[in-house]
Amino acid sequence: MKNIRVTVWNEFLHETMFQEIRDIYPKGIHGCIADFLKEAGFEDIKTATLEEPQHGLTDEVLNNTDVLIWWGHMAHDRVEDSVVDKVHRRVLDGMGLIVLHSGHASKIMRKLCGTDSQLLRWREAGEKEILWVVDPSHPIVEGLPDRIEIEHEEMYGETFIIPNPDELIFISWFEGGEVFRSGFTYKRGRGKVFYFRPGHESFPTFFNEYIQKVIINAVKWAKPLNMPKVQLGEIKEPIMPIANPTLNVIEGLHNKK
Ligand code: ZN
């Protein structure tokens, strides 16, 4: 996995503002994610946060990122449009994007989905969540059991106003009765996008080995393919004019009008 360059982007506000969140994620959520990716064998891991210049997502960082992981919650609107546009361009050009938890409402996710806002139900009651695998053939679920149980999480519930996913991989059940499409993919341009719901900041969800496994699998899945750029209209050999029977038929039809 030396060849996958990952950047973990985190808002990094809850951890700096609230001691109880810092107690759970002393190195920030981005630090936790970077640590388990390194442990899994990824060697090129960068992190970037909101308060850095250009939110840490300079041209150099983005141009050297194969897969970008995005965690945002309370400050989506503070992300500069110019940075969102650059991330969007990179996704269309093939960079993978993994959007976590409340990132469903981030500017980049809304831009990729073509939606104005991402509506859903939510409740912060620390209830139990069970993520059921609904696509056991997908590489993102490799090595997982048929369900992931999380003792305490924030609830997100349907109806979730999103375009129909290309692939639906997880559906969550919550103790309070709601269900939610918790893991799904889109393809946008040459880029692959995976949304994964769990990861509220006040619970140690990113320390769960199965949640880590999903993110590790998703990084491998989302990496860009080594494909040449499309060269539109490039003529390799001279094209000789020939009588085209199809065109003749069409012309004949036109002449009858
Ligand atoms: Zn949350």
pLDDT at 246: 64
Give the DSSP H or E segment for 85: helix 81-92
Give distance in angstroms: CA of 103 to centre of ligand 1.
9
CA distance 96 to 216: 13
Give distance in angstroms: CA of 242 to centre of ligand 1.
64
Give distance in angstroms: CA of 247 to centre of ligand 1.
60
Give distance in angstroms: CA of 127 to centre of ligand 1.
13
pLDDT at 102: 96
Number of domains in the chain: 1
Residue 57 scores a pLDDT above 60 = yes
**Stretch 56-79: mean pLDDT, rounded?**
97
97-154 pLDDT tens trace: 999 999 999 999 999 999 877 789 999 999 999 999 999 999 999 999 999 999 999 9
pLDDT at 189: 95
Q: Which residue has the higher pLDDT, 235 or 173?
A: 173
Residues less than 5 Å from ion ligand 1, measured at CB: 102, 154, 200
Give distance in angstroms: CA of 154 to centre of ligand 1.
6
CATH code of residue 22: 3.40.50.880
Highest-pLDDT range among 1-10, 25-34, 221-230: 25-34
**Stretch 33-53: mean pLDDT, rounded?**
98
Give distance in angstroms: CA of 245 to centre of ligand 1.
63
Residue 60 scores a pLDDT above 70 = yes
Contacts with 35 (C-beta within 8 Å, 6 or more apart), sequence order: 27
CA distance 230 to 251: 32
pLDDT at 249: 54
pLDDT at 10: 98
Domain that holds residue 128: 5-256
pTM of the model: 0.90
Give distance in angstroms: CA of 185 to centre of ligand 1.
20
Give distance in angstroms: CA of 141 to centre of ligand 1.
23
Residue 2 scores a pLDDT above 90 = no
pLDDT at 3: 87
Give distance in angstroms: CA of 145 to centre of ligand 1.
25
Give the C-alpha distances (Å, rounded to integers) separating 11 from 16, 83, 222: 10, 14, 22
pLDDT at 242: 72
Give distance in angstroms: CA of 57 to centre of ligand 1.
23
CA distance 38 to 2: 10
179-193 pLDDT tens trace: 999 999 999 999 999
Give distance in angstroms: CA of 12 to centre of ligand 1.
13
pLDDT at 255: 52
**Stretch 189-212: mean pLDDT, rounded?**
98
Quickly state the pLDDT bin for 257 (edges 50, 70, 90). very low
163-175 pLDDT tens trace: 999 999 999 999 9
Over the chain, what is the mean pLDDT? 93
Of 185, 129, 132, nearest to 157 by C-alpha is 129
